[in-house]
Structure 1
Amino acid sequence: MHDVPTSFGMTKVRKSGVGHGVPIVMMHSLGGNSLMWSHLIADLARDRVVYAPEMIGAPGLSVQTAPIDEFTFGAWLGEVLDGLGVEKVHLVGYSQGAWLAMAIAAGERRRLASLTIAEPGGTLTKLRWSVLRTMIKVGARPTDKNLRKMQEWLNPGVALNDAEFAGVKAALKYHPAIGYPRMFSDERLAEITVPTLGLFGAQSQIVDAELAAQRLHDNIAICETEIVPNVGHGILYQIPTVVTSHILDFTRRYEPTDARHGE
């Protein structure tokens, strides 16, 4: 674990793997932390370095000391990369982390070789009223039974162990200083000029996969999308091998030439 000082506070970053290619940076979801990638990291870090920061403004080990929002998040990541001695990365984000990865790509594109977003809720398509209503109801009565029922509904096929469930409960008490995902306009999407991969679950309750994929293709010049059947918002946990394969294939194809020569 690395301690990286930034003007927004001390950021903890987990480093895994070795290799000569462009590193991968993983942006975790709301209420998550760098450990959420533990079931993917062996494959992702097999032949390259992977950095998993504990995001500033979210629950975790990093310590925020100055205000931050989606428009200054790119500056934070830039300082983190400077502290790690890294010039360019492949950026990967899941759920809320995907929203922030998109915000970074729209403002700090020079530091990115590619962008991969998985299930970016509330950013490409609006949350359905039924989903918001369920979240509000559970938030009013956050019993273990209600929380587990909502988790199963949002992420079918994903079972949390006791430690993971305890982490979810603890995170609910934390008000994220970075706020919550906001919709990207077509104009802001067009500011993302790096090669972009969008991964969606066809059964997601959080994202309208078809509409989200179409918005990416309509506004981002170099864009690929994959809508996986029989999978929900918990795509990283339902089919981790498939997701890892997509990420690695995409990053290899958009590896800068000089990086490929170093491998």
Structure 2
Amino acid sequence: MARIGRFKSEQARTDYLRTYEAMARLWPLPATLADIPTSFGSTHVRRSGSGDGVPLVLLAGVLAHGLHWHSVVEGLARGRAVYALDTIGAAGRSVQTAPLRGDADYAAWFAEVLEGLGLDRVHVLGESSGAWHATLVGLHAADRVASVSLIEPNGVVTRIPWRALLRMIRFGANTTDEGWRAMGEWLTPGVVMTDAELANARAGQRFRLAGGWARPLKDGELASYAPPLLVIYGGESVVSDPVAARRRLAELLPSTEVETYPGTGHAVRGQVPDQVTARIVEFLARHDADEGTHR
């Protein structure tokens, strides 16, 4: 049954928003905030940067929101406007009022956000579960998308290993500080949350998520995927299989650009931020040029 994401209580929401505002102080650029009405609810958007480049929309992972891009937004926003969204149905400042009943609804929601922002076509960058949402946008609203970039799209190209799923389930039953540390050491080795990020993530556990989990794209979906695609993996990721993913993409969508960073895990963006940012920026710039030829 389709659900609507919500906090478990009004006190949970109040506590969460306090940690959200503390995280907002990590954002390094001037920002314009907006709450865009859609048929699925109000979507909170943070805009920074400017320039002639095609705008970039950011979609964060589970227990995350637009502010989680704070460490790389300066690099991403050089020469273009960047819009960081709080995904509908997830913890953040967006407020869901109607359920998302299928994959295509994410694209419908996204298109309505673009309409509210006055944007025609954009680049889309998603990370982790946000990579799944970015994938759906490119699949179901390709006419609004100049390119799609995915960071650690676990479960999208290949399945998440069962051992990883079982470990995440066990983590869900042990949300103590010790449990959080153990999870971090396993999932994101070498990356430590700031105090503000950790407090926000802990508070976000009192939000009932409404979105579905990623599934591997069917062969036909992958082979017909229209937008230019960049996929970035951590070479030692415990939730992805970069070798199998590269092989499947080469077979079904050979135009895909795949970048794997050895010695990094699921938090590849946090481990080698300059390399990941530079690779994305280069990809965006090339497809900015593509957009110019189509105008």
- Please name the residue that 1:116 is paired with: 149
Q: Distance in 1 between matches of 2:279 and 2:185?
A: 25
- Please name the residue that 1:47 is paired with: 79
Q: Per the alignment, do residues 221 and 128 of structure 1 end up closer, same or farther by CA in structure 2, a change over 3 Å counting?
A: closer
Report whether the alignment pairs 1:64 with 2:96.
yes
- Please name the residue that 1:208 is paired with: 241
Q: Per the alignment, do residues 88 and 207 of structure 1 end up closer, same or farther by CA in structure 2, a change over 3 Å counting?
A: same
Aligned-CA RMSD value? 1.7
Q: Distance in 1 between matches of 2:115 and 2:292?
A: 18
Query: CA shift at 1:261, angstroms?
Result: 11
Q: Distance in 1 between matches of 2:71 and 2:231?
A: 20
Q: Distance in 1 between matches of 2:111 and 2:58?
A: 14
Q: Per the alignment, do residues 260 and 242 of structure 1 end up closer, same or farther by CA in structure 2, a change over 3 Å counting?
A: farther
Task: Give structure 2 stretches of 5+ with no counterpart.
Answer: 1-32
Fraction of identical pairs, as percent: 40
Q: Distance in 2 between matches of 1:242 and 1:53?
A: 23
Q: 1:242 aligns with which of 275, 278, 288?
A: 275
Query: CA shift at 1:171, angstroms?
Result: 2.4
Report whether the alignment pairs 1:190 with 2:223.
yes
Q: 1:19 aligns with which of 45, 51, 55?
A: 51
Q: 1:106 aligns with which of 132, 139, 149?
A: 139
Report whether the alignment pairs 1:232 with 2:265.
yes
Query: CA shift at 1:163, angstroms?
Result: 1.9
CA contact (8 A) 2:35 2:43 kept: yes
Query: CA shift at 1:116, angstroms?
Result: 0.4
Q: Which runs of 4+ in 1 moved over 3 A?
A: 256-262
Query: CA shift at 1:135, angstroms?
Result: 1.5
Report whether the alignment pairs 1:94 with 2:127.
yes
The one-letter amino acid paired with 1:28 is A
The one-letter amino acid paired with 1:65 is T
- Please name the residue that 2:11 is paired with: none
Matches within 5 A, 1:74-223: 74-223=107-256
More divergent stretch after superposition (244-253 vs 221-230): 221-230
Query: CA shift at 1:129, angstroms?
Result: 2.2
The one-letter amino acid paired with 2:239 is I
Q: How many equivalent residue pairs?
A: 262
TM-score, normalised to structure 2, is: 0.85
